[in-house]
Chain A
Amino acid sequence: MYKINKRQIFGFVLLAVFCMVPWVINNTYIIKVISNAMLYSIIALSINLIVGFSGQLDFGRSAFAGLGGYFSAVVFTTYHVPFIIAFIGGALFAAFMGALLGLLCRYSSFDYLTLITIGFSEICRKVFEQWYSVTNGSFGFRTSRPSFFGFKFNSQQSMFYFCLVLLILCYIVIRRITKSKMGRGYKAIRDDEIAAAYSGIDIKNYKMVCFIIGSFFTGIAGAAMVHYTMFAAPTNYTIDESLIMLQMPILGGLGSLPGSIIGASVLTLLPEVSRGFYLYRLLFLGILLVILMRFAPNGLLGRHGIKDQIMDYISERRARNNGKPDKTNAEEKVVTAHGRNHEG
């Protein structure tokens, strides 16, 4: 008994158009860039779950992408495990490492999560770089071409669809999680830990599980990236990289899942526009973040983010042009104007 509404129709149309991209555009470079954006979208979604929903600041996401990627690549190429198992294995391995960190915080305190993730990401990078016999050190690790039940992913088109299906699956699952009791628990913890505890939420367990789930999705995207480029190098898993990943959901609006995809797309497409931009990307992203924090702390699609502000502006203009004040909107503006300052 599914009711189909306007939004869903819009989504399906968008998807159908998107599916045709590899046919219409023959330029493999563009397809590659779009696929890359889709994989980064998964990472942005996973970060949104951890940072935007449960409110834990994590600076080491690239390490988990690296763990998923390296594990999957090594198991697949060196040990010839079937692709699908190696691929899922990478995600599970990232989740497992996330569980270790989560457990550490579970039995001490989540106050240090940010520092721990920074340290952890540095450790991981060093391991990727130094464990020469397994990871081939700073030369990077080359993987063989993935195949799936006898079907070889040897065209850009097939990889495009692989990324698309992966993104859709991850999006659906993450969306379901955020709409469920679990997701509400995360948001409650983010908004007020004491009230959350008084609602019977086991805060430490919830934070830990959220971290593990997030790590799974980061890991799966990391594995997909490595199989896509057939190459993994320690320089892809630095703190800089983590910061850029963190900016994606922030730009899109923490708490908004479509926002994460837009944020990831913007930040992966921009560096491709010009090489100069790539060199100065950290500078540019820093400035972007400062501007964002000043004018739209909730990003593009977050609550009262840029989209909401534009919508408010439009309806205000429209109301003024009609000559009579748009009452409902005027009221809304008043109540939203003084955001409550809650103590403690």
Chain B
Amino acid sequence: MGVIMKVENVSKHFAGLKALNKVSLEINDDEIFGIIGPNGAGKTTFFNVISGFNSPTSGKVFFAGKEMTGSNITQFCTRGIARTFQNIRIFSEMTVMENLLVGMHNRIHSTFFGVCMNTRKQRDVEKKAADKAMEIMEYLNIATFANEYAANLSYGTQRLVEIGRALASEPKLLLLDEPSAGMNQQETMELMKLIQGIRKLGPAIIVIEHNMKFMMNLSYRIAVLNFGELLMVDTPKEVQEDPRVIEAYLGKGEEY
């Protein structure tokens, strides 16, 4: 066990608005880490800062044993981060298979010459990638949609495609931003099992969620954000009973 992601005193200000204020956290490489907090608490901003979308106003970000403060998205990805988005982002005019192959981008080693000449090596590389994409699709139960355009799929399936694309890059750390949004009770339960299964496959996972029941069952530890401040980090049970959390978050209406 080790620390995969460490953030030290990270702040992110947007024109005076403190979206994140001096947050320090350590995430282990074998846990499912939950982040909760009311809307606008800075959860998505936290993901953006630890994946290179925004660079922090101050503070440091370490990932996989290396300081990555100020690195861009591509550098974070190459190092082993993958994420899904609160508002789904898939390649809608590409097939599900292609979506996953794009996720595999840095694992496919083609040369320009190989592509133009369609060499045996190039064909092998593509074949292997397609096989692996198929494996992931089967794992996620979306193999039947392999050649369907992503735009034509239902919302829930698109979420799975997004997760599949993230998995295809074989990340060390997977960031899931409200993965159960728009899902019904049963789909949410299936998603929970899926996330637990993915954890066993390798990557550490950070999940942002509103659904407390979901988080209680899933997370090993939970961080609570409120107005950009880190209120506490503890086990789900402790978090649930903490009066500050109840005031900041649960008090606003549990379970929605």
Contacts and interface: CB of A to CB of B under 8 A. Distances in A.
B152 interface: yes
A190 B102 CA distance: 13
Which label, helix, strand, loop or mixed, suits the secondary structure of the A interface? helix
B87 A184 contact: no
Contacts of A303: 93, 149
B122 A180 contact: yes
Q: Chain B interface: which size bin?
A: 35 or more
B41 to A, nearest CB: 20
A194 B93 CA distance: 15
A187 B98 contact: yes
B152 A184 contact: no
A191 interface: yes
Contacts of A190: 93
A76 B101 CA distance: 44
Contacts of A201: 74, 102, 105
B43 interface: no
Q: Chain A interface: which size bin?
A: 20 to 34
Interface string B61-96: 000000000001110011000110101111111100
B108 A181 contact: yes
Contacts of A344: 87, 89
Contacts of B108: 181
Interface in A184-234: 184-185, 187-188, 190-192, 194-202
B81 to A, nearest CB: 8
B229 interface: no
A255 B89 contact: no
Given A197-B74, A200-B105, A180 B110 contact: yes
A88 interface: no
A198 B82 contact: yes
A314 B82 CA distance: 43
B115 interface: yes
B203 to A, nearest CB: 15
Contact of B91 (A191, A336, A343): A191
A276 interface: no
B51 interface: yes
Nearest to B126: A180
B142 to A, nearest CB: 14
Given A187-B98, A198-B77, A201-B74, A181 B105 contact: yes
Contacts of A332: 152
Interface in B90-129: 90-94, 98, 101-103, 105-106, 108, 110, 112, 115-116, 118, 122, 126
B115 A255 contact: no
Contacts of B105: 181, 184-185, 199-201
B151 interface: yes
A184 B102 contact: yes
B183 interface: no
B102 A188 contact: yes
Interface of B: 51, 53, 72-74, 77-78, 82-83, 85, 87-94, 98, 101-103, 105-106, 108, 110, 112, 115-116, 118, 122, 126, 149, 151-154, 158, 165, 169
Enumerate the 6 nearest inter-chain pairs by beta-carbon distance, A residue then B residue, closest first.
Answer: A200-B77, A195-B89, A191-B91, A200-B106, A197-B73, A180-B115
Given A176-B115, A182-B112, 18 more contacts: A173-B116, A176-B116, A180-B126, A181-B101, A181-B110, A181-B115, A184-B94, A184-B101, A187-B93, A191-B90, A194-B73, A198-B51, A199-B102, A199-B169, A303-B93, A335-B152, A340-B151, A342-B92
